[in-house]
Amino acid sequence: MDHTDHRPVTLALTPNGQVALCRGCLQGITVEFGPILQLFARKDFLRLEYNMRYMCPAEYFRGHPGRSKIIVNTTAPDLYFAFTETEFLELQELLGHGLSKLQLIESADRHLN
């Protein structure tokens, strides 16, 4: 028998990543992107998505001449990732779609309970 009730809820998918929500607690959020897999508390995921949403690659590279990758803080102390502009834009889209579906699930849960 397949126990699908234990599988995470997929919030968003891109060719290189996915965002998933813990079905049991509806708080733990997994972000997988390329070789990166990180579990976030809800508040940390929201902070990462917010930071990514307001970063602009063109402005970043103007402010950091000579860099070929965008450095992103993951909200975990001393853990940063470096992305090409293409990777950054894909991750930015992935997190945005993940947040939208998370908010939809939370809204539905509030109205059903």
Residues of the chain with pLDDT under 50: 1
* Residue 4 DSSP code: G
How confident is the model at residue 108, as a pLDDT? 86
Whole-angstrom distance, CA of residue 94 vs CA of residue 112: 27
Beta carbons within 10 angstroms of residue 102's beta carbon: 21
